[in-house]
Amino acid sequence: MPLALVTTTLVSYAGGSLPVPNAVMITKNLNNKKHKVRLFTASDNKTLLFSVDGVEGKQYSLFVFDLEGKLVIQSAIRNRETGILPEISAGNYLYEVLVEDTKVENGQLKIK
């Protein structure tokens, strides 16, 4: 069952608030309950964060690819750490999270 996460920013103006078009949508294709992976934005809605609550002492690797299969971002963290990813341009991406060469999660990222 795909799971989607959408984040947006609200900017105030005299008449109320308007949503800023920057948004991150995450659709998970494979979700392992033993390894709780989180991809989310920081309060600035530009910085993408990556964290895992899984197996003690294990290292988790995140790979983000463009739709042509080119590696765009790679990040490695230990269990219960949070990694900060560089700002990523608008577009569609695929991601995979591995622990010891075993895929624990994959899905799609849509950055608007």
Residues 13-71: pLDDT tens digits? Answer: 344 443 444 678 888 887 778 889 998 888 877 788 999 999 999 999 999 999 999 99
Supply the pLDDT for residue 2. 45
Asked if residue 8 has pLDDT above 50, the reply is no
Q: Quote the CA–CA distance of 50 and 48 in Å, as a whole number.
A: 7
Confidence class of residue 99 from pLDDT cuts 50, 70 and 90?
A: very high
* Sign of the alpha-carbon dihedral angle for 17, 21, 23, 29: positive
Domain parsing of the chain, residue ranges: 3-111
- The answer to whether the predicted template modeling score (pTM) of the entire model surpasses 0.85 is no
Q: Which fold has domain 3-111?
A: Immunoglobulin-like (2.60.40)
Q: How far is CA 110 from CA 13, 14, 67, 78, in A?
A: 27, 31, 11, 25
**What pLDDT does residue 17 have?**
40
